[in-house]
Structures are given as C-alpha cells and as structure tokens.
Amino acid sequence: MKPEPHTEPRPETSATPRPEVRHARRPLLAAALAAPLAAFGAGTSAAAAPAAAPAAGAGRGEPHARPTIVLVHGAFADASGWGAVIERLHRRGYTAIAPANPLRGLASDAEYLRTFLSTVPGPVVLVGHSYGGAVITNAATGNPDVTALVYAAAYGLDEGESVGAANGLGGGHSDVVDNLVLRPFPGSGKQDADAYVDPAQFRRIFAGDLPEEQAAVLAATQRPGVLSSLIEPSGTPAWKDIPSFYVVATRDGLIPVPAQFAMAERMGARTTKVRSSHVVMMSHPDEVTAVIRDAAGR
C-alpha cells in the first residue's frame, strides 16, 4: 500500500520564509522517508523468507514450485546479454532475473550475489556465463536454496584456482590477456586497472558468430572487469555439493575449449556441446534455455 500523501505548507512569497515553516521541513522530510524505509525493511525480510504462496506451476501436477532462474553475466558484458534466454524462460512460465555483476573482484562479486540471493524466495537455479561462472561457484556455496548450477561457457573454478590459471586446463591457451585495453579507475594505483577487450579483437575473441554490427556495439558498450580478478583465488566451490550442468561453446575464443571440457568433467556436470562463440546465450539461446529448463526440472 502506498503511503498517504502529505501536504507541505506553501512557502511564503517573500525571500525569507517564516521560521516555523523552515523548521517544519525537517520532521516532514523524516516522515516522508520513514514509510519507504519501513517498506524496504519489510520487503527484504519477506523476500528472504520462504514464499507463503506456491509459485507458478505448483498445484497443477508439479510437486514443487518452479525455481527462480538467476542469470549472472561475466566481464566485458552486461545483463542484457541474457535477454533472449529470459524471453524464452518467461514464455515457459519461469521467473528469471539477471542482476548486474559489479565486476570488482571475485570475493566481492560473490558476496554481492550471495546477498542478492538472500532476497529471492524459494528454490533457485543459478546460471553463470564466463567470469560469472566463477562468481556463482563461490556465491552458492552453503546455500540450500540453490538446487542446480548451470555454466554457459563459464569458469567452474576449484578451490585456490584463479580464472587465469583455469585457462590452461586441458592444455588450452587463451590470448585474451594479450588483447586487453587497461584503464585506471579511482584508487587503482599502478597495481590494478579496469580491463576491456580490444575492440579490434572483440568479435574474434568474444562474439565470432554474431553479425559484425552487433559485435561492434557489444565492443563499444562492454563493461570492464577489474584486472586483479584474473589472479584472485577461488573459495570452496559450490559444484562439489550442487548438481551442475555445463554448456561447452566449441568455437569459443576466450575460454579455451579444452579448459571448458576439463572443468565440466571435474565437476561431474551434465555436458552439452554447442557450436558457438563465447556468447553462447546470445547466438544459441534455444540450446542454453533447454539446458536451464533441464536443470530446473531436477
């Protein structure tokens, strides 16, 4: 219910307002803020608790509520990359959310996602693309509401492993580090920077099966990842306890294909191969959606 509107006294037409009007603004402002803040507190508490009513699908032949699908993007991209998958999930009656990944470091990003998940009621299928896979690997650890993990051309790191090190799994090699444009950010000093994929190499590395015009827009609008996230070690991986699914993009120019297979095998994931560039969720949304629905069905 929206808070009842309040009416402030009209200001005097003279340049100096009456003292009683000026001093009245502070309690009026406090009253105006009190209701939204109270609603926010009540909303987050309610969201963190189990839903009182069954979700879509429950009570119509399905024994449990459908999980919410939470999709996490990686570096050099944003949440809009999940758009085609979200449209397909919505048509199937799923609730799908793609939060913004801060891209400020693995531990920090995982904590952000962990906090975000605390506001999502009921079961969750957690999906990660690229570096987003490293984030979900850490954020889902110990969360009983996460029923499945889906990796779409993503990093499924082991404990103590970094994104940079994972590129070498299975004998693979990636030249993405050799094609980064680095820019400082406030407080980065000389030891860190924001990393972008060189626009001249973006389509080859990131989006080889998208039209040139679309890839050029993605290159121009990419969100940078902090450079130090390439060497930050991962924590205890959630995939050791949560059923996992992996979509291998067999024409990926960023994560080496041998490394993707090695990570999928290590986690015992149900693996699907797609002849795709790194942005498999954009160029092959039907295949990725099918894997997510399979994971949700478990």
Residues in a beta bridge with 273? 248
At residue 130, the pLDDT reads 98
Judging by DSSP bridges, how do beta strands 194-197 and 146-154 pair with one another? Answer: unpaired
The overall longest dimension of the chain from CA atoms, in Å, is 78
Of the candidates 247, 298, 249, 292, the residue with the CA atom closest to the CA atom of residue 94: 292
From CA 11, how far away is CA 93, in angstroms rounded? 52
From CA 150, how far away is CA 269, in angstroms rounded? 9
DSSP state of 63: S
List the pLDDT tens digit at each of the 298 positions of the chain.
434 444 333 333 333 343 333 333 334 333 433 443 344 444 443 333 333 333 443 433 344 579 999 999 999 999 999 999 999 999 999 999 999 999 999 999 999 999 999 999 999 999 999 999 999 999 999 999 999 999 999 999 999 999 999 999 999 899 999 999 999 999 999 999 999 999 999 999 999 999 999 999 999 999 999 999 999 999 999 999 999 999 999 999 999 999 999 999 999 999 999 999 999 999 999 999 999 999 999 6
Q: Write the burial class of residue 241 (CB in 10 Å: 0-12 exposed, 13-18 middle, 19+ buried).
A: middle
pTM score over 0.75: yes
Of the candidates 117, 26, 106, the residue with the CA atom closest to the CA atom of residue 70: 117
Q: Write the burial class of residue 145 (CB in 10 Å: 0-12 exposed, 13-18 middle, 19+ buried).
A: middle
Query: 280 with 287: CB under 8 angstroms?
Result: yes
Residues 29-51 as b or e (16 or more Cβ within 10 Å = b) = eeeeeeeeeeeeeeeeeeeeeee
Structural Rg of the chain based on CA atoms: 23
